[in-house]
Structure 1
Amino acid sequence: MSRLIPLALATLMFVPAMASASGRTLDGVNFTGPLITPNPAGMPKGNAYVEPYLIRTDSDRYYDGEGRRHDSPDSSAWLMVLPIAYGLGERVTAQVNLSAARVEAAGERSRGFRAGDTTAMVQYALQKSNEDGTRPAISLSVTQRYATGSYDRIGGNPLNAQGDGVQRTSFGLGMQQVVWMPNDRPLRWRAQLTASPAPARVALNDNSVYGTPDGFRGNYAPGSLLGVSAAAEYSFSSRWVGVFEVAASRQSDRRLSGYAPGADGNAQRVELRLPATRVVSLAPAVEYHFSPNVGLIAGVEFSVAGRNTGSYISPQIALGMFF
């Protein structure tokens, strides 16, 4: 579930539009932002943006180490995510993401919606866009993930684990620009590169999200992460926008080590190496804008390639509100 955590915010939808030197204007142009790629332009000082998401994820196949897909037991989840962004200054935006999930697999389910991990981000704008959006907005960001979701000591139901215990710091470089098409309608593209060094080991006790048994004592060593995503939004009218997005990520090798009770009751050494994972996904979507301050986006993200990870399809819908 952790991969779902990277989510979109709105930008030019809420920036007061003015006529540019070219005569073009963003007046009457609304964007909510795509589903995956974050907003590199930030929020205006003193303004806030809230965008609650409802996401459904289904998986019945997985990718092996060669990238071939195989059948696997069905699993599904409902995920609610609440990104909240606030403009602290002309160039500084702060954001927090809250989440909760309900998971089903093999006829079992978690005990209702349970809190997941939380992320907090600070973003600094290196370059602001101009009035018609043709000058790229460029930003740097630092994101800290906090292990607020349960991940060990979860009893006999592993689906009650909605976090992974990893306290991860990520660094991002984002860019966004408006390109005016020959019909004088704008296409806005954005891209984000994210890197995260391997964080500290996670201490594990008893049953955990990593499949450890009752009585286990040990730790999990997460790998480093590298991710990239790109998106394009084409404004058909003041209300309707078409979206297409592509994302890819890679996590390096991970290790699980410790001791677990054996059949004879004595502690036995556990030492597992988990191979690197990769996944590539696409996410088409459509936006509808009720007003310049309220917009709805609905789409579906689905994996198209991967290594040592699950194959999935993830319909989702979000309502963006600017204050």
Structure 2
Amino acid sequence: MNARRRAGIACLLCLHGCLWWSFPAGAQTTPALPPAPISEESMSEAWWTGPMLANSAETLPPGHFLFEPYLYDIHSQDTNSFGSRTYILYGLVNRLSVGIIPVFGYNRVSNGPNSAGIGMGDITVQAQYRLTEFQPGNGVPTTAIELQETLPTGKYDQLGNRPSDGLGSGTYTTTLALNSQMYFWLPNGRILRMRFDVSEAFSRSADVQGVSVYGTGPGFQGNVKPGNGFFADLAFEYSLTQRWVLALDAIYSHNGNTHVAGEDMLDPSNIPYPQNVRLNSGTSTAFGLAPAIEYNWSPAIGVLLGTRVTFGGHNSVNTVTPAIAINYVY
């Protein structure tokens, strides 16, 4: 081996040794960079429309309105009940909002004639008083008491050969609810908003004549007393971005027995012959989920698209209800 080749090999070995020693030493002496701090989303940065079902525990500032129309289709095995439900709320004074909820509907059925046209359902008036207000760090949720009175404005009896025209209950119903709302900051800095609402509805008696939503016949005369209704809703909203929100409601309902009593003046052959009638629906329970997605153009206006699915339970009908809503505050 000549001198030039031996010198070249010696230089390569020397360079290899220098690199082998230098890299571990550099890795040991260079301090690791600390992880970048996570910036938490502020409450003002998060825009919300609200989940599909759970009412807010907030109240409107005095002089401000909320307008939120829903369009939906309650689909069961034999019926499509198309409807609209519009929340019109007003901030009356500090901590107190009042409002009205008109309902319209149309029933399409597979075993009889459809509704003759779009009809009015029962109208609800309400008032909500805020008890507490959430503040970051104190662990106290926003809470409110809500009082609703549903007025029997929808058609419910004397339906003739179109039972599908029935869109009301015929009774005055008082609903008392406790609504709550809480905020949580997740490890990624985004906000998870939670609502938990519980309510109890108390209905009074109503007179019933003829064919009705309670399954009575054309010659019936009597009255009905619906059972009390309990409803619970646990809802979550995840602020995916400022404009996009993922939402989910988990619901439970329990309805007491509805009792119908009276006389049917016609026998099955339509011959006048008074017969005592006693009908009991029995109690019922149902569970459901309502996933939804929200998009907000600004803090004041957004749109929601979701579907409520009810299932399981006792003495209840499984339904699928797609819905769309727009929420506007001004």
Q: How does the TM-score come out when normalised to structure 1? A: 0.86
Distance 2:210 2:41 in 1: 62
1:300 alignment partner in structure 2: 307
**TM-fit CA distance, 1:245:** 0.8
Q: Structure 2 residue aligned with 1:314, among 291, 296, 321?
A: 321
Kindly indicate whether residue 115 of structure 2 is the aligned counterpart of residue 110 of structure 1.
Answer: yes
The 1:156–1:233 alpha-carbon spacing in structure 2 relative to 1, beyond 3 Å, is same
Distance 1:111 1:86 in 2: 34
Distance 1:79 1:265 in 2: 38
Q: Which runs of 5+ in 1 are unaligned?
A: 1-21, 61-73
**TM-fit CA distance, 1:254:** 1.6
Higher relative CO (CA 8 A, sep ≥ 6), structure 1 or 2? 1
Does structure 2 conserve the Cα–Cα contact (< 8 Å) formed by 1:30 and 1:238?
A: yes
**TM-fit CA distance, 1:23:** 7.8
1:269 aligned partner, one-letter code: N
2:286 alignment partner in structure 1: 279
Distance 1:160 1:35 in 2: 26
**TM-fit CA distance, 1:35:** 0.9
Structure of larger gyration radius: 2
Kindly indicate whether residue 49 of structure 2 is the aligned counterpart of residue 42 of structure 1.
Answer: no
1:154 alignment partner in structure 2: 159
**Cα deviations by residue, 1:190-249 (Å, 9 ceiling, x for unpaired):** 01010123x321100111111212221101111011110010000011110000111111
Distance 1:171 1:290 in 2: 33
1:85 alignment partner in structure 2: 89
The 1:142–1:252 alpha-carbon spacing in structure 2 relative to 1, beyond 3 Å, is same
Q: Which runs of 5+ in 2 are unaligned?
A: 1-38
Kindly indicate whether residue 288 of structure 2 is the aligned counterpart of residue 288 of structure 1.
Answer: no
Q: How does the TM-score come out when normalised to structure 2? A: 0.84
Does structure 1 conserve the Cα–Cα contact (< 8 Å) formed by 2:311 and 2:317?
A: no
Kindly indicate whether residue 242 of structure 2 is the aligned counterpart of residue 220 of structure 1.
Answer: no
Distance 2:51 2:143 in 1: 17
1:238 alignment partner in structure 2: 242
1:205 aligned partner, one-letter code: Q
**TM-fit CA distance, 1:122:** 0.7
**TM-fit CA distance, 1:34:** 0.7
2:209 alignment partner in structure 1: 205
What pairs up with 1:37-76 in 2 under 5 angstroms?
Answer: 37-60=54-77, 74-76=78-80
2:195 aligned partner, one-letter code: R
Q: Secondary structure at the match of 1:223?
A: coil
**TM-fit CA distance, 1:317:** 0.4
Tell me how large the CA RMSD over aligned residues is.
1.7
